[in-house]
Structure 1
């Protein structure tokens, strides 16, 4: 008779939108339980005023970090040093130095850690990965992820401490490097400031990144977050990959239902987060379940911390290119 590991005790650090999303999935997971949260009540678990107190409480085997982008690194290092497994929202970190600190701490501690690039569990994207051999060597790709202006002005209160590229293109960079099975060698990027600055939020309206991969393929990563709120989805997402022998196109809008009322015409989101017959479902849920399974068995996740560090390095180089106006090699 096989003895399975006990339930994974998880502490959630960050109780905003993403923290609540993690809590919904974990609370319904048969092999996990939320045993602590940081700062605000969430689920039926003890509340700790600081992440360090939660980490040192002895109540958790793993942490789920869902704080704003720029706060991830110190929390990951502290968790790793305490021997805790780590699930962290994207992006991994917002500087290469922080990414290197986190990777080093995680590998030295031997804990399981994963950045939640959940798009790898979108069925169409996973199917595209399986079909990459059919279209041959990658040649050119394009990934667009644009948000409505609701996101930087209402949904998050820290848009001035990040950019649409960190917030949105991080997903697409992880996705295309995975599909290409390659890494980015050099980037050239431009940004446009205007509308959000006029609203008192000092962050770009849009960023475009041109990337050259090590085997010669190229890709464009577009991000913006000033679509009008009348757009029928909060996110406009599209990916295409051209190979030497074929092309794959992935249009997120095509997999959504269409809903028309006297107030609006919408495509309710259903691929990442949805509830089916009262149970959380979708790519977001599947990615978190993958982490729980890996943490309980000590298995390396599909998404390695080194690949997530590379996404950070690509974006750091892109922002340096925006500042300098020159191409920048990826560290």
Structure 2
């Protein structure tokens, strides 16, 4: 049986880990990382040297030449739609970083083309793969919490993220798109319930003074179909000497139980004379170790979520149908639901009213 041929589109700050994840799978599955596409030509030489693969400036040229079976997309948010659609139309299975799209019409189109063509469209909502979160979902499925009533979640980045990492395109995104999407999917998945309405407020202050036209923070009140009310804070203006790049956590309260998860401080803290401040570690997300042959490899739920996509493609190649995988991975439908919710968050900020999140591809509408 021929090896499945895989490539990555967008080899930036996180796309590089897609390459590592796929290369490591070559040791255990009948798959091969064969190419990458990256518009920044200054990165090509390092990628070629590290992975021994061709690197294309034009992803369409790569798709045409490399006889691929699947691609992952790790470009900036607003570029996802065209790349994902073109990949699906070429018959490729697709993994895409969150959010699926920053427009619900686009996410709906991607979701439906994948479904029509029996192709996997998987979203890298890696928080579903965190073993702490998996345990909480197991408790939910055992009805330990009763009916969910309310909760709170937060995800906050250091200011280096919008100011330094994303400064060339930060005006096309927001903390809700980049950060809030993680927790909207996680809470929806944990409670098995979609967002039905949103009321939100946003703050523009510090970043605007730096010449960056995006929100410092967004606070949203999300009402789910199970009637639980969840407050979500997303921001990216924490001081750069904060103890980690991201501060995050959540709590859920039901009629019969409560759970609290501090995803920032998981028990390991360090401080050194050679470095400033205290550092918190989340090694469970991703860390580097060596296998029995002394070869470095990345492990953690941040890698597992990427590799799960290829495992699904292998299952399909071995005879499973797409419907056999329903509910086992973050799908195009899940990505579409998150896009609709965040679209509603921004519409609520702009209009000052609560927004109803419609089913299907209906546009968000004002709650009367």
TM superposition score normalised by structure 2 = 0.86
Aligned partner of 1:176 in structure 2 is: 187
Residues in 2 aligned to 1:50 and 1:17: alpha-carbon distance in whole angstroms: 19
Residues in 2 aligned to 1:274 and 1:113: alpha-carbon distance in whole angstroms: 27
Kept in 2: contact 1:143–1:239 (CA 8 A): yes
**CA deviation after TM superposition for structure 1 residue 8, in Å:** 2.9
Aligned partner of 1:316 in structure 2 is: 343
Aligned partner of 1:19 in structure 2 is: 15
Aligned partner of 1:293 in structure 2 is: 311
Aligned partner of 2:36 in structure 1 is: 37
Alignment length (residue pairs) = 327
**CA deviation after TM superposition for structure 1 residue 214, in Å:** 1.3
Question: Is 1:75 the equivalent of 2:71?
Answer: no
Aligned partner of 1:144 in structure 2 is: 154
Gaps of 5+ in 1: none
CA RMSD in angstroms comes to: 1.4
Residues in 2 aligned to 1:73 and 1:59: alpha-carbon distance in whole angstroms: 21
Query: Aligned pair in 2 of structure 1 residues 7, 273: CA closer, same or farther (>3 Å)?
Result: farther
**CA deviation after TM superposition for structure 1 residue 182, in Å:** 0.7
Aligned partner of 1:270 in structure 2 is: 283
Kept in 1: contact 2:97–2:125 (CA 8 A): yes
Kept in 1: contact 2:149–2:253 (CA 8 A): yes
Kept in 1: contact 2:265–2:282 (CA 8 A): no
Residues in 1 aligned to 2:287 and 2:218: alpha-carbon distance in whole angstroms: 29
Gaps of 5+ in 2: 291-295, 317-321, 359-368
Deviates most, 29-38 or 319-328: 29-38
Q: SS of the residue aligned with 1:110? A: coil
What does 1:153-164 align with in structure 2 at a 5 Å threshold? 153-157=163-167, 158-164=169-175
Question: Is 1:213 the equivalent of 2:224?
Answer: yes
Kept in 2: contact 1:35–1:59 (CA 8 A): no
Kept in 2: contact 1:36–1:60 (CA 8 A): no
Residues in 1 aligned to 2:352 and 2:72: alpha-carbon distance in whole angstroms: 37
Residues in 2 aligned to 1:171 and 1:102: alpha-carbon distance in whole angstroms: 19
Residues in 2 aligned to 1:272 and 1:7: alpha-carbon distance in whole angstroms: 29
Q: Deviations over 1:81-110 (max 9, x none)?
A: 111010100111100011011112111111
Q: SS of the residue aligned with 2:233? A: strand
Kept in 2: contact 1:55–1:78 (CA 8 A): no
Deviates most, 26-35 or 281-290: 26-35
Residues in 2 aligned to 1:291 and 1:227: alpha-carbon distance in whole angstroms: 33
Residues in 2 aligned to 1:287 and 1:126: alpha-carbon distance in whole angstroms: 13
TM superposition score normalised by structure 1 = 0.95
**CA deviation after TM superposition for structure 1 residue 28, in Å:** 1.4
Question: Is 1:233 the equivalent of 2:237?
Answer: no
